[in-house]
Structure 1
Amino acid sequence: MKRRSLLGAAVPVGVAALAMAGAGQAARAAPAATGRMNRDYGLNSAGPFEIVARFDGPGPSGIAVTPGRRIFVGFPRHAINHAGVTLAELRADGLHAYPDTQWSMPSDRPPQQRLMSVHGMTTDTRGRLWCIDDGKLAGQSLAPGAAKVIGIDPEKNTIFANIVLRPGIVLPDSHMNDLRVDLTHGAAGTVYVTDSSFGLSPALVVVDIATGRQRRVLATHPAAQAERGFMAVVEGRPLVFDPPRHKPGFVWGGIDGITLSPDSRTLYFCPLTSRRLYSIPTAVLSDFSTTEAQLAQAVRDEGEKGVADGLATDGQGRIYTTNFEHDAIFRRNVDGSFDTMVRDPRVLSPDGIFVDGNDVYCTLGQWNRLGGLNGGHDLRVPPYYLIRFPADPPDAVDALHVK
């Protein structure tokens, strides 16, 4: 909406005063301020959305929906080592451990034989569910075999892929955050995983599904790094990422958000502590013979997209970006323009995001309120939400002009 339509024709105060003086009139003092004042209309809520589920226990992160419209949610344990499920199917009667309680609930099974801390989730073009288990339990060191890529067949409810990320690929401060699966490269496909890092060692991890071959790439490239001196305004507070001088006061990290183009030819990604969006051709990225120099040359800066955690792409190639500064979800259109899809004070720390046809799902975990970011005080206020909104809302109908 143009400013003129809201406020009428605006005339700068200085120009008005000069015009009055030219007419021989005495200048007058401005009237005292009253209750009626200009306001920022950008503070209004925007965009329709519905609350699909409320969670009173652990905060949600990953979200994926299969072609059969089964909804799966991840509850990581890297921030709070909770005793609930880490991967669940959301049904009409609540959450159910998935694929079963042995895998999803805490136990004494070896780390490679249970889900430790499910974070990012997605589906492939065959409708199969994929998860990244970051392997991290709050307050504990990352155990060997804990970080892994998991593939689940939702028709059989069984795990068909369990690819443990080996030492060197996983670092002591690794935070395997999100993933996308490309079935157009490799004999069985290729997985791309973002390691946003709990420290300052982010990278993109490439995994060949058929062979289990793995490598870390772009570890020193600016497209993977958290920007030093970066400032974010979170719930009205200006916060600066300036380690090691100051402990970060907001959710921060290197390469984090990740999404594929509809044809899987391009991978889009972004650091969490950045406003830039980057891309790279998957033909280059999936080729294990490609050198770091060649990969770096293939990275393209796609411009600004705001502060984003999760990324998701719809069938038209439009990219949905969560934004924890504005309690919002934006959409980057194919021409580079942006739309506001959702903006609301309840949209705190929008995280995992998934597009299912014309429906877009997003988890709200209030991660910026964790105790580790607020002097040891956990400021989160349950419930946490899973929301859904339309990618293309129907046009509003003017009842006075319906033919």
Structure 2
Amino acid sequence: MTMSINRRGLLLAAPAVAVAGRARAAEPAQGASNRDHGVASSGPFEIVARFNGPGPSGIAVTQGRIFVGFPRHAVNHKGATLAELKGGRLRAYPDAAQSLPSDRPPATRLMSVHGMTTDTRGRLWMIDDGKLAGQPLAPGAAKIIGIDPATDRVFARIILHAPVLLPDSHMNDLRVDLTHGAEGTVYVTDSSFGSSPALVVVDVATGRQRRVLASHPSIQAEHGFMAVVEGRPLVFDPPTHPPAFVSGGVDGITLSPDSATLYYSPLTSRRLYAIPTALLSTFSATDAQLAQGIRDMGEKGVADGLATDAKGRIYTTNFEHDAIFRRNTDGTFDTMVHDPRVLSPDGIFVDGDMVYCTLGQWNRLAGFNGGHDLRVPPYYLIRFPVDPPAAVDAMKAMPG
């Protein structure tokens, strides 16, 4: 998307074309065939926007407004790192001074917005991973930000610091629980740019923060893990071989509708885990006590982002199958979307009866492909219904 800055300092972009009602993947016919039916596109979805320039990651929707994050940790781009999609255009959010690159101290501006979410009051929250490609993590850069869309003002700015923040930290995604703590508790996944992942727990009222479960198997990337990405079998085997696909420790994170349970998963894993937030939010609980509360929920496929709907069903992105799955409350799974355009489904967000997801093509970054950036814009923001309409039998039409 071609971007420019107008005289008011707002980041503008060429129209992010909305195509509601078009670009829908049809359900494949399941007739007799000697070919794999699983390679066909399935599930209805809409392309909400197409982006050139930086690739999108975080996505959040609140009060009918759509916000998108464009992190700078992979490519240190000059566009907005946080933008609102409005009227088919992107506008730097909450303003150009905070979202565009500048010489302002890292603690006072947005450096690299990654994961995004909302709380039960409809306020926007994000994790600024603070990382600019090719540069060390600057003091004050990694932080939790809360913005009230009603006023477009930052109401929370919690700087992450050592020993919670490590030199190789990758503060990836977050969820906000307003049922614990005087002003809520934030749970952050540090998937790590190195080999030191952990969950981070932050009390909003006091800014108190701690790093937990860093050595627990549910947090770690699985060595020897193999993923098949765009038909290529790729093995996670550091430090023997450089990474060949997007990999890391704890990454995906989501809350149950009542905020009583936090679900999470390492990026380099197929398993889903859960822990009670009453336990996780207790700062006096030891890692051993926290470990006792972890439940292994079984396999859910290779997921980056996780999201929960009002019925407690969990949506999982899957970069092996160009798909988005749903884990139902009884443990069964449905394929919601499957399409060759669903490359590296990343940030995912449920807004009422619609699910939004960004497609960043992260597996094609130069760092995974011998220095060659294989991404092909545009990058998509898609959405699909949580419950696609049931087919109507025309033979059972009611008399007029």
Tell me the TM-score normalized by structure 2.
0.91
* Alignment equivalent of 1:261, drawn from 251, 256, 263: 256
Partner residue in 2 for 1:118: 113
Partner residue in 2 for 1:142: 137
* Alignment equivalent of 1:62, drawn from 58, 61, 64: 58
Partner residue in 2 for 1:351: 346
Q: Deviations over 1:55-97 (max 9, x none)?
A: 011000000001x110000000000000000000000140000
Partner residue in 2 for 1:164: 159
What value does the CA root-mean-square deviation take over the aligned residues? 0.9
The whole-number CA distance in structure 1 between the counterparts of 2:249 and 2:88 is 38
Q: Check if 1:178 corresponds to 2:173.
A: yes
Partner residue in 1 for 2:266: 271
Q: Check if 1:98 corresponds to 2:81.
A: no
Partner AA of 1:349 in structure 2: S
1:185-264 aligned at under 5 Å gives the runs: 185-264=180-259
Partner residue in 2 for 1:331: 326
Question: 1:167: how far off?
Answer: 1.6
More displaced 10-residue stretch of structure 1: 393-402 or 114-123: 393-402
Q: Deviations over 1:253-306 (max 9, x none)?
A: 000000000000000000000000000000000000001100011111000000
Partner residue in 2 for 1:305: 300
Structure 2: stretches of 5+ with no match in the other structure: 1-29
Partner AA of 1:79 in structure 2: A
Partner residue in 2 for 1:42: 38
Partner AA of 1:48 in structure 2: P
Q: Check if 1:317 corresponds to 2:293.
A: no
Partner residue in 2 for 1:290: 285
Aligned-partner SS, 2:374: coil
The whole-number CA distance in structure 1 between the counterparts of 2:287 and 2:39 is 44
Question: 1:314: how far off?
Answer: 0.2
The whole-number CA distance in structure 1 between the counterparts of 2:395 and 2:229 is 42
Aligned-partner SS, 1:386: strand
The structure with more helix, counted as a fraction of residues: 1
Partner AA of 1:361 in structure 2: Y
Partner AA of 2:196 in structure 1: S
Question: 1:401: how far off?
Answer: 4.2
Question: 1:397: how far off?
Answer: 2.2
The whole-number CA distance in structure 1 between the counterparts of 2:88 and 2:97 is 21
The whole-number CA distance in structure 1 between the counterparts of 2:393 and 2:384 is 22
Aligned-partner SS, 2:218: helix
Partner AA of 2:276 in structure 1: P
Question: 1:400: how far off?
Answer: 4.2
The whole-number CA distance in structure 2 between the counterparts of 1:250 and 1:400 is 50
The whole-number CA distance in structure 1 between the counterparts of 2:359 and 2:380 is 5
Question: 1:396: how far off?
Answer: 1.5
Q: Deviations over 1:301-349 (max 9, x none)?
A: 0000000000000000000000000000000000000000000000000
The whole-number CA distance in structure 1 between the counterparts of 2:377 and 2:339 is 17
The whole-number CA distance in structure 2 between the counterparts of 1:355 and 1:185 is 22
Aligned-partner SS, 1:223: coil
Q: Check if 1:109 corresponds to 2:110.
A: no
Q: Check if 1:52 corresponds to 2:48.
A: yes
Aligned residues: 369
The whole-number CA distance in structure 2 between the counterparts of 1:294 and 1:101 is 45
Question: 1:6: how far off?
Answer: 4.4
The whole-number CA distance in structure 2 between the counterparts of 1:93 and 1:363 is 16
Q: Deviations over 1:138-179 (max 9, x none)?
A: 000000100000000100000000000012111111000000
The whole-number CA distance in structure 1 between the counterparts of 2:279 and 2:46 is 40
Aligned-partner SS, 1:103: helix
More displaced 10-residue stretch of structure 1: 88-97 or 314-323: 88-97
Tell me the TM-score normalized by structure 1.
0.91
Partner residue in 1 for 2:149: 154
Partner residue in 2 for 1:16: none
The whole-number CA distance in structure 1 between the counterparts of 2:331 and 2:362 is 29
* Alignment equivalent of 2:393, drawn from 385, 398, 401: 398
Aligned-partner SS, 1:220: coil
Question: 1:399: how far off?
Answer: 3.1
The whole-number CA distance in structure 1 between the counterparts of 2:192 and 2:393 is 50
Question: 1:248: how far off?
Answer: 1.4
The whole-number CA distance in structure 1 between the counterparts of 2:50 and 2:393 is 34
